[in-house]
Structure 1
Amino acid sequence: MAWVVLIIAGVLETVWAVALESSKGFSRLVPSLVFVVALVLSMGGLAYAMRSIPLGTGYAVWVGIGAVGTALYGMAAMGDAVTTARIACLVLIVGGAVGLKVLH
């Protein structure tokens, strides 16, 4: 169960990162509220998962999911450049997170 919660928390990290950008420095109410709710749920999920997942593994997987999700969102919806090098770097992040899970 901790791994499921950790994955959801990582996805919520992507949500709060996107909402933070959309809030335009907290000048827009709805994205600012989405940011706060997603941040609290994401951190809460991380805290719950770390009850049974080691600190380094849990944090690295959480950050990896959030970083990859945010980068993919930027490429898909925000016009960020999609290059072979960027995709390769994201694959390396995913590989590292999977490796930490397997070695757990």
Structure 2
Amino acid sequence: MKKLQDNQEASLRSPQSSFYEQLHTIQETRRQINAALDKIEQKTLKDMKDTLTKLQASSKSDVDKCIILREELNQIRDAIQDISVKIKIELSFIATRKCEE
């Protein structure tokens, strides 16, 4: 009877020991997965921040170019208007001279 009891107790300890080994393996695997996910998250965030910085710099550059081009277009418009006024005055003068002749 004692031998049977010892065998039964040993057979109970074996699954329990196996259970704790498997639990430890699962917990260690989970820790490794979490560490890998943390690394992926950090790299992704860094890449996203770098991309955002580049996009913002590019957008600022585009906006600055647009401002410069707009100012140049305004200057060209003003120059064309000045030329147009001068041409009208000259044409008016020429027309007046022709009429007098």
TM range (shorter): under 0.3
More helix by share: 2
**Alignment TM-score, normalising by the size of structure 1:** 0.25
Structure 1 or 2, whichever has the larger Rg, is 2
**Alignment TM-score, normalising by the size of structure 2:** 0.25
Work out which structure has the larger RCO, using CA pairs closer than 8 Å and 6 or more positions apart in sequence. 1
